[in-house]
Structure 1
Amino acid sequence: MNRTKPIQEPTVNAEQLDERLSNRYRVLFTDSKVPMLLIDPSTGSIIDANDCACRYYGYDHRQLTALKISQINQYTAEEVDLEMRRAMAEKRNHFFFVHQLSDGSLRHVEVHSGKVEIDNRDYLFSIIHDITDRHTAEQQLKSLNQDFITLLENTSDFVFYKDKDRRFRFCSQRLAKLTGHNNWKEIIGKTERDIFPEELATNYLSEEPELFKKAEPILDRIEPFLNEKGEKGWVSTSKWPVLNSQGGIDGIFGISRDVTAKQNSEEQLRIAASVFQNVSEGIIVTDTNGIIIETNNAFCSLSGYSREEVINTNPRFLKSGYHDDNFFAQMWHSLKTEGAWKGETWNRRKDGQLFACRTTIKAVTGPDGTVSQYIGVMTDITALLRHHEEVEQMAYYDTLTRLPNRTLLSDRLAQALANGKRNQNTIAICFLDLDNFKPVNDQYGHRAGDLLLVEVANRITECIREHDTVARLGGDEFALVLTQLQSDSDLEQIVKRILSSITQPFKLPNQQQVAVSASIGICLHPDYPQDGDLLLRYADLAMYKAKEMGRNRYYIYREGQI
């Protein structure tokens, strides 16, 4: 804006201007639908204004021409000067200001100003265009663009737009960094083959011809990628065609999200689920109330129940009756106090058969330490226990009579002596040998002899008390350990009962009957405080004394009498 030299002559008023302006100018100025002002540049006074300007600013002609432009323009003198210099630098003949209307509202205006000379004096002829809406839209667009750039620079996703030639128009900073670029703008104009390894680029580009052809989006496709460290990962990619007004495709907009952690987690879950269903151990998962919420195939095979039959039920359907209430109370006490329990359980299958399990139960806790589930793992050890029982039977029991053998007798005798010494109880060690057993074998055979020995074992067992022991030493020899004897009469009653029981006739398989008797030698403890083997030897000597005295009797060992 050119500033004129101070004018010495009196300021021209509107009427004088009316006379001097041409009719053409008056029509243009007065009847224009655009606000127009005539301004004295030396004073900033508004000399004239058309009707449109009066209506726009909200003043009548007299009020408006009584103002100076600085009373309307909200820019300071420095800001006005800056805007004018900016316009000169940008080679534009219009300026941008903010004008205030009579109601106090502010409007953004574009002012086209030009110098006019009237009576050798310079004035500014200004045409005002309201650009408030445009300015607002531009600011919103600028803000939107800035927000979009902020999004591109800060999002963790791989955002991109490619034109129909497959060249990037923009992308997120994460994608730029991934491909070795410092700024996302460096990728503009490049293709996948320019920024990705050949294998990945080929994979990404291979899916797009169909997208251009059908104009249908690709949604949540899982694809490989290499992260910033060069490690293989996975992204979930969605691509949409961007259509123009004619329905053609101008480009492709896409978003890829790093789902490596999710994929790995899902893979771990798939592996865990596979292991869960394929391990040989039966597994059940219950809620905190003990209700089954999940189980595996092995448990169904082990228990005989289907998954549908056990879900939402309590595991007590496995109860076999083998364990008492105290057993389960201790189990729950361990789970509540230690978060785990381990032990052997006997359970009942759906078909009623019993099976033994090595069972481990653990509490599953959340981040706050609260128990959310219980997991029980059951290993079938039925065959193992049966084998163990068989081995134990062979090692400690007589195979014919199922009575303890000499090895187990030695152990029981040692325990009995220790308890007797501690409690000062009398213990009787008895050695029993059948009378006239050999003729039975000779006449009726070993099969008949074996059956007779089994029956003898049963009769002796029926005659003794629960805490006593009877063992078979071999052939027709048996040993007894009678504990907690309160008097001589206790011993006498038991021994006479045994002798009487054995003398009762035995019926053989051929319906023939045979009769045998027994001779019993006895050694008492603590009368003789020696070890078990020596006491049993004394009892053996006493047994031979009983035979010498006529058999079918008992004899108590007395030192010096044998």
Structure 2
Amino acid sequence: MAELGERFTRDLTIRYVAVLAVLGVLSLLSFVGLARSIASAEDGLAQVSLSGNQRMLIERTAFAANRLAVASGPERAASLEMLTDSLERLESRIPALTEAALALPLLPGRDIADGPARQISVDLARFLDLGHRLVAHAQGLDHDDPDLAALSAAAAGPLLEALDDLNLRFREASEDRMRELMVLQGAALLVAMGVLLVSAFGVFHPMVERLRADFTERMNVENELRDSEERLRRILEESPIGVSVSRRRDGRIVFANTRFAEILGVSREQFIGAPARENYVDETQRRAVLAELRRHGQIDGAEVEFRRKDGRPFWSLLTIRSTDFEREPVNLAWIYDITERKAAEQQIFLAAKVLDTLNEAVMITDAANKIIFVNPAFSAITEYSRTEAVGNTPALLSSGRHDGAFYEAMWSELLSKGSWSGDIWNRRKSGEVFPVGLSIVVIRESNGLVSHYVAVFSDITHRKEDEARVWRQANYDALTGLPNRSLFLDRLSQGVQQARRDGKSFAVMFLDLDGFKAVNDRLGHAAGDLLLQRASERLSDCMRGSDTLARLAGDEFVLILHGIRGREEPALVARKLIDQLSLPYDLDGSVAEVRGSVGIALYPDDAEDEAGLIARADQAMYAVKRRGKNGFLFASDLVPATSAEVT
């Protein structure tokens, strides 16, 4: 019996040890499996969070770029900083996202490169390139920029779809791994139960202890899972985008992060448990969202209007996904407040409409003086379309009538005072030169650097024509077209100043028509007017282009001969004038004859001022009339009058 007992004890001990060994191996496998489950769950959450963060960064990048295009001053600097930060964070996480995607299990008959994830790395690289290009020319960025349009399109198109698809694959892969590990765990449990049944009579107590240990381990796993869920809550809580979770069965909110409550203007305690429908601006808006959700099963970046706690409506980008939360079907919603962006878009729209309706041409250039915008009035006035103008410089309109000194003075005043206005000549596309009234304003950034130039101009051709007509009426004789007394005196004053400055001489000649009154009385005033016109033509033919011929009044004319030397040139001109005037005049069938009397005063010999020259030439002309008319006399040849002549 001792040997039997000893053998039984030995055999029982062997079986006990064997059972313990088997149970130990199974326990080890179970522990490893649970550890892998926990690690897999954490990896899955990290991958989901990674792809979600990338999506958020893409949306943040697009928002910052669009805000940069319309912002100014400090807001523009903040938008540029947000854009740069988003691009850096997005780029830093691409390797991890790519590595996680490559680690996904292959699908039957295809690999991870299939579907929207095919070009995920390429698309992200292209998106980053667009973002960096926008940062590079942020100073000249506007809402019409093609890179901005491409970046916005990428942020709302296939790139986000690819990230969503990759996110779904991460979730599916995590779930697959969990299922595999659970199957392995179940198999280990079945084997353990079999071993327990076989050794129930011999090793019941050790098995009970082992089971108790297993339950303890499971409790630890559950605690770790709860910790993992808490980490996920913290991730959502710290998200810069509003996040809420609402039950699908009754629509009540069971979770909301701080940002979500801030956007709606309520405390989180007031928010939790409230119906999600109360946040929509009206029932129509809510029904539209529900219809979209039923039709597609999700919502991606929809512009939806909500209402804050104080009743004020606001616009938001809404994204909804269906999932499970605390073992219950829920809708996971992300919202991003875009009220400022919508207001900016409205202001831009109104400004564009105003510019389109202006009758004045508006041209905006960047800091390099490249045209970036023109309104319809610009095209109507200059004949250049918007496509032809944008990208060129204002030199496109140069008429060639202004020299370099003019433009240097204009730019000097523009940069020193911040604005310039005046009249300038431009050239239309057809080649026609026309005058414009131009105003230019400098737009500067907060740091003082020039960002844009805004030019507004209008066609002033009719105004210039009116001014020229008024000026001509004020300075030219209406009958003969010759300069009148006013213009003559102005030119005489200029002649005195120039001659005094250059040390030169010139002559003033007074001419009166002899016999004009007789023609006027015999043939009538119409014939007299015609005679004056014909006489002025003959006198003009005797003049040089640099000389001046004017009609003072009636039949009196006056001439200024510049750059003379001595008395020979004035005398030669006087003889020629007298000879031309003495030829017969054909006055519409009637013949008339007149003569001319000419008095000549020389500067500075006879006088050194305007009044003196006029008086001396007038005296000489009347002296010729007293002597018999039809001749000329220099003022210096006048004989002093006697007392009898004066009387």
Equivalent residue, structure 1, for 2:434: 355
Contact kept? 2:355, 2:375, Cα under 8 Å: yes
Alignment of 1:364-403 (within 5 A): 375-403=454-482
- Superposed displacement of residue 373, structure 1: 6.4
- Superposed displacement of residue 173, structure 1: 0.8
The one-letter code sitting in structure 1 at the alignment partner of 2:559 is L
Secondary structure of 2:214's partner?
strand
Aligned partner (choices 582, 603, 613) of residue 503 of structure 1: 582
Q: Does 1:175 align with 2:229?
A: no
In 2, Cα distance between the equivalents of 1:425 and 1:229?
A: 88
Alignment of 1:39-438 (within 5 A): 49-53=20-24, 125-127=209-211, 128-129=213-214, 139=224, 142-143=227-228, 145-152=230-237, 154-164=238-248, 165-182=250-267, 184=268, 186-192=270-276, 200=281, 202=283, 204-211=285-292, 213-214=294-295, 216-225=297-306, 233-242=314-323, 250-285=329-364, 294-308=373-387, 310=389, 318-323=397-402, 342-351=421-430, 353-361=432-440, 375-438=454-517
Equivalent residue, structure 2, for 1:75: none
In 2, Cα distance between the equivalents of 1:534 and 1:556?
A: 14
In 2, Cα distance between the equivalents of 1:208 and 1:346?
A: 58
Change (3 A) 1:357 1:250: same
In 1, Cα distance between the equivalents of 2:366 and 2:269?
A: 55
In 2, Cα distance between the equivalents of 1:205 and 1:142?
A: 35
Contact kept? 2:246, 2:276, Cα under 8 Å: no
Equivalent residue, structure 2, for 1:96: none
Equivalent residue, structure 1, for 2:618: 540
- Superposed displacement of residue 303, structure 1: 2.3
The one-letter code sitting in structure 2 at the alignment partner of 1:163 is R
Larger radius of gyration: 1
The one-letter code sitting in structure 2 at the alignment partner of 1:167 is R
In 2, Cα distance between the equivalents of 1:328 and 1:524?
A: 42
Deviating more after overlay: 397-406 vs 455-464: 455-464
Contact kept? 1:432, 1:478, Cα under 8 Å: yes
Instruction: Provide, for residues 237-266 of structure 1, a one-character-per-residue CA deviation record: whole Å limited to 9, x for no partner.
Output: 23345599xxxx944332221112222222
Equivalent residue, structure 2, for 1:554: 632
Q: Does 1:468 align with 2:553?
A: no
Secondary structure of 1:551's partner?
coil
Change (3 A) 1:364 1:214: same
In 1, Cα distance between the equivalents of 2:452 and 2:592?
A: 67
Instruction: Provide, for residues 285-331 of structure 1, a one-character-per-residue CA deviation record: whole Å limited to 9, x for no partner.
Output: 55788765543211221123444555566666645454456656766
- Superposed displacement of residue 357, structure 1: 0.9
Equivalent residue, structure 2, for 1:99: none
Instruction: Provide, for residues 116-166 of structure 1, a one-character-per-residue CA deviation record: whole Å limited to 9, x for no partner.
Output: xx9xxx9994444399899678646633542433332x3332222222312
Contact kept? 1:277, 1:296, Cα under 8 Å: yes
Aligned partner (choices 491, 496, 508) of residue 570 of structure 2: 491
In 2, Cα distance between the equivalents of 1:454 and 1:140?
A: 113
In 1, Cα distance between the equivalents of 2:6 and 2:209?
A: 13
- Superposed displacement of residue 356, structure 1: 0.8
In 2, Cα distance between the equivalents of 1:529 and 1:380?
A: 48
- Superposed displacement of residue 190, structure 1: 0.8
Q: Does 1:523 align with 2:494?
A: no
In 2, Cα distance between the equivalents of 1:352 and 1:539?
A: 49
- Superposed displacement of residue 484, structure 1: 3.8
In 1, Cα distance between the equivalents of 2:222 and 2:480?
A: 106
Secondary structure of 2:630's partner?
coil
Contact kept? 1:211, 1:218, Cα under 8 Å: yes
Contact kept? 2:477, 2:483, Cα under 8 Å: yes
In 2, Cα distance between the equivalents of 1:413 and 1:220?
A: 80
Instruction: Provide, for residues 11-63 of structure 1, a one-character-per-residue CA deviation record: whole Å limited to 9, x for no partner.
Output: xxxx989857997x997x5665xxxxxxxxxxxxxxxx4443268679xxxxx
The one-letter code sitting in structure 2 at the alignment partner of 1:281 is E
- The structure that is strand-richer by fraction is 1
Runs of at least 5 residues in structure 2 that lack an aligned partner in the other structure: 30-201
Bigger relative contact order, structure 1 or 2 (CA pairs below 8 A, ≥6 apart):
2
Equivalent residue, structure 1, for 2:43: none
Change (3 A) 1:348 1:529: same
- Superposed displacement of residue 425, structure 1: 3.9
Secondary structure of 1:129's partner?
helix
Change (3 A) 1:348 1:53: closer
Deviating more after overlay: 235-244 vs 550-559: 235-244
Secondary structure of 2:628's partner?
coil
The one-letter code sitting in structure 2 at the alignment partner of 1:53 is G
Contact kept? 1:170, 1:185, Cα under 8 Å: no
Percent same amino acid among aligned pairs? Answer: 29
Secondary structure of 2:320's partner?
strand
Secondary structure of 1:478's partner?
strand
Contact kept? 1:211, 1:241, Cα under 8 Å: no
What is the alpha-carbon root mean square deviation over aligned residues?
4.5
How many residues matched? 459
Instruction: Provide, for residues 492-547 of structure 1, a one-character-per-residue CA deviation record: whole Å limited to 9, x for no partner.
Output: 2333333333334444455x654432212233444454753454244333322212
Secondary structure of 2:479's partner?
coil
Secondary structure of 1:161's partner?
strand
In 1, Cα distance between the equivalents of 2:334 and 2:584?
A: 99
In 1, Cα distance between the equivalents of 2:575 and 2:522?
A: 28
Contact kept? 1:318, 1:349, Cα under 8 Å: yes
TM-score by length of 2: 0.59
Contact kept? 1:300, 1:306, Cα under 8 Å: yes
Secondary structure of 1:207's partner?
helix
Instruction: Provide, for residues 92-136 of structure 1, a one-character-per-residue CA deviation record: whole Å limited to 9, x for no partner.
Output: xxxxxxxxxxxxxxxxxxxxxxxxxx9xxx999444439989967
Contact kept? 1:215, 1:241, Cα under 8 Å: no
In 1, Cα distance between the equivalents of 2:633 and 2:602?
A: 11
Deviating more after overlay: 339-348 vs 295-304: 339-348
Equivalent residue, structure 2, for 1:479: 558
- Superposed displacement of residue 211, structure 1: 4.3
Deviating more after overlay: 127-136 vs 216-225: 127-136
Deviating more after overlay: 491-500 vs 203-212: 203-212
The one-letter code sitting in structure 2 at the alignment partner of 1:236 is L
TM-score by length of 1: 0.66
Equivalent residue, structure 2, for 1:441: 520
- The structure that is helix-richer by fraction is 2
Contact kept? 2:251, 2:277, Cα under 8 Å: no
